Structure 1
Amino acid sequence: MDLRWFLICDCSNPERFSTTEKVPKWSAKALRAYGFTRLEAMKMWDTDTRTCYLVTGILLDGTSLGAKFLLANGITISKLREEILKAIGRRELREVPIGFPPLDASTQRVLDWAADEKLKSGESGEITTAHILAGVWSEKESVGHKILATLGFKEEKAKELNALISIPCVED
C-alpha cells in the first residue's frame, strides 16, 4: 500500500488538496521516515504518535537531508531516545492501544506545516525530511521541539535548515 495515501489522509484538512495538481509530493525518504515514526511510537508503547517520534523517524532513515543535518549538529538516535524516555517515559503494556497510535495534535500540525510550506514556496519538488524537521521546530510547545532544544538545536540552526529548504535544487 502506498504511504502517500496515509500522509494525505493524515492532513487535518484534506479538502485543500481537492485537485491533484495542488497535492504536494512527499520524497521517498520522507515517506520512509514517516513509516519509522509510526513504528517508533508503537515500539515505545505510546498512546499517541508525538513530534519526538518524527525526529526519531528522520534519524532512523539516516541518509536523508534532515538526518544528515541532525547528525552534523551532534544529535544522534541514542541521545534522542534517552531524552524521549526522560520527557515522556515508557508506557505499561496494558495501556497500549491496538494498531498504530493516532497522531497527536502537534504532530498533525507539523505535517500540515510541511505541506503548506512546500505549497507556499511555489517550487516544484518534494516535501523532504528537512521540511518535517523544520515543522517540528516551528511547533514550540511540542515534545519534539523541547527535546531538540535540550540537545542543543537552537534558532540559528533552524535558520540554517530553513535556508537549506529554500534552495530549489536540494533533494532529500
Structure 2
Amino acid sequence: MAAAHCNYLSTLPATNLKSRSNHSVRLNHTLTLKSPKNSWMGTKLCVGVKPHVLVCTRRPFSAIVSFSLPTANPERVSPPQELPKWSSKSIKSFAMGELEARKLKYPTTGTEAFLMGLLIEGTNLASKFLRAHGITLFKVRDETVKLLGKADLFFFSPEHPPLTEQAQSALDWAIDQKIKSDDGGEVTTAHILLGVWSEVDSPGHKILSTLGFNDEKAKELESSISKPGIKDD
C-alpha cells in the first residue's frame, strides 16, 4: 500500500569515505526522496538532502603524572644531600586516597583518606601489613563515616581536595624518617602508614587504634622496613 503513494529512494550514490590523519571521517551523501503525492497532506513532496557529517573518534588525552608528594618544606635537606624519592606505590596510594576523599564528598584529604588509599591500591607493603592484622578497606571506610560523618548530598569536592595539616605532617614525618635512616632507598607506603600513626590526634590514628593497631604493631612495621633492600610490595 505504501508503494502506491510513495516511491522509494530514487537516487542513492555510493558513499565517499575518506580517512584523515586525525582519525576524522567525512561522509558525503546526496539523498533525494521523490513522491508524486503525500498521502496525508495531498501535496507533492520533493526533498533533496546533502548532509556533511563529520565523525571524530575520541582523541588521545594527556595526563600529568606526579613523581613526588607534597611536603611543607622541600628544602629540608642541604646539598649535596637530596630528598628521598617516593615509591611508585606511595604515589599511587596517595592518588587513590585523594579520589576516595572526593567520592565521600569531603572537602579535604586527611589521614583517613591515606589509609583508604593504601588499602585500595592493595599491593603495597602497608596494605599487606594492615590486612594481615585484620584491618580492611571496608572497616576503615565505615569507621571514617562514623567519625567524620556523611558529607552534604549537594556538596561537590574540589578536583584535588587540599591536605589537612595532620595529613601534611604525616607526609613530612615520612620524609624526615627516611632522611634519618640514610639508607638511600625510597619512601614507602609503610612510611606513610607510620606517619599517620605519628599524628595521635588525627582521624587516621583514631581509626587505626579502634581497629586494633597499636605501638607494638607500629614498631614491628618499622623494624621490617629498616632492613636493607626492602621493597614496597
What is the TM-score normalised by the length of structure 2? 0.69
Deviations 1:46-83 (A, max 9, x none): 01111011011000111110000000000001111100
Distance 2:183 2:213 in 1: 27
Alignment of 1:1-80 (within 5 A): 1-5=64-68, 7=69, 10-16=70-76, 21-80=81-140
Residue in 1 that maps onto 2:179:
119
Using the alignment, how far apart are the partners of 1:169 and 1:156 within structure 2?
23
Letter in 1 for 2:66: L
Q: Deviation at 1:18?
A: 6.7
Instruction: Please state how far the C-alpha of 1:90 moved relative to its aligned partner.
Output: 1.7
What residue is the counterpart of 1:166 in the other structure? Answer: 226
Q: Aligned-residue CA RMSD in angstroms?
A: 1.5
Distance 1:26 1:18 in 2: 18
Q: Is the 8 A contact 2:102 2:158 kept in 1?
A: no
Q: Matched residue of 1:137: which SS? A: helix
2: CA distance, partners of 1:151 / 1:78: 11
Partner deviation per Cα, 1:5-52 (whole Å, 9 max, x = no partner): 4x1xx2111222575851211111111101101101111100111101
1:100-146: CA deviations, max 9, x gaps?
Answer: 11000000000001111111100011000000001111110000000
Return the structure number with greater strand share.
2
Q: Could you say which structure has the larger radius of gyration?
A: 2
SS at match of 1:15: coil
Q: Kindly indicate whether structure 1 or structure 2 has the higher relative contact order, using CA contacts under 8 Å at least 6 residues apart.
A: 1
Task: State which of 190, 197, 213 in structure 2 corresponds to 1:153.
Answer: 213
Q: Which amino acid aligns with 2:181?
A: S
Q: 3-state SS of the aligned residue for 1:112?
A: helix
Matched with 2:141 is 81
Runs of 4+ in 1 over 4 A off after TM superposition: 17-21
Distance 1:17 1:93 in 2: 44
Q: Distance in 2 between matches of 1:97 and 1:35?
A: 15
Distance 2:107 2:113 in 1: 12
- Structure 2: which 5+ runs fail to align? 1-63
Distance 1:54 1:90 in 2: 18
Q: Quick one: structure 1 residues 157 and 121, their matched pair in 2 at CA, closer, same or farther if it must change by over 3 Å?
A: same
> Take 1:78 and 1:146, find their aligned partners in 2: how far apart are those partners?
16
| Mean Cα deviation higher: 160-169 or 77-86 | 160-169
> Normalised by the size of structure 1, how large is the TM-score?
0.93
Q: Give the aligned residue type for 2:149.
A: G
Deviates more, 1:59-68 or 1:90-99: 90-99
Deviation, 1:95, is: 3.7
Over the matched positions of the two proteins, sequence identity in percent amounts to 47
Structure 1 residues 104 and 57: alpha-carbon distance in aligned structure 2, compared to 1, 3 A threshold: same
Structure with the higher fraction of residues in helix conformation: 1
Instruction: Give the letter for the 1:150 counterpart.
Output: T
